[in-house]
Amino acid sequence: MFAVKEGKVIYKLHKHIERNSKINKKKKENYLKKNGKLDCEVCGFDFYEKYGEIGMGFMECHHRIPLHEIKEESVTFLKDLSLVCANCHRMLHRDLDTLSIEELKNKIKNSQ
């Protein structure tokens, strides 16, 4: 039987980068106004369509320029963000080098 120990609390020292949730909200509002729905920019997934009310207004915000690559405090514009579903977001960050939206779209296309 395969089993592992879990639950030990490990304190990691990490660089905390402040993310501004105000712009995430604004991005979603703008996208919704423009497209009439919130769907993933990579795969088209729509949380509201799939999950109903609980999924309404839900979409993750991805920084096209990874925040850890930005050395100092910088300004984020709406165009720097992409709205992606949780699955695509994980895939974008799967490798050490973050994939671009276009690269991930191509991967989906090529795998079908």
What residue ranges bind Zn ion (CB under 5 A)? 40, 42-43, 45, 62, 85, 88
Contact, 64 vs 82, CB < 8 A? yes
State whether residue 79 is helix, strand or coil.
helix
Nearer to Zn ion, 6 or 95 (CB): 95
Nearer to Zn ion, 17 or 54 (CB): 17
Nearer to Zn ion, 8 or 109 (CB): 109
Q: Report the nearest approach of Zn ion to the CB of residue 22 (Å).
A: 17
Selection from 27, 17, 18, 25 nearest residue 82 by Cα: 27
Rounded Cα gap, residues 64 and 59, in angstroms: 15
Phi and psi at residue 78, in whole multiples of 5°? -55, -35
Q: Report the nearest approach of Zn ion to the CB of residue 72 (Å).
A: 20
Nearer to Zn ion, 5 or 16 (CB): 16
Rounded Cα gap, residues 112 and 101, in angstroms: 17
Q: Report the nearest approach of Zn ion to the CB of residue 30 (Å).
A: 18
Q: Report the nearest approach of Zn ion to the CB of residue 97 (Å).
A: 13
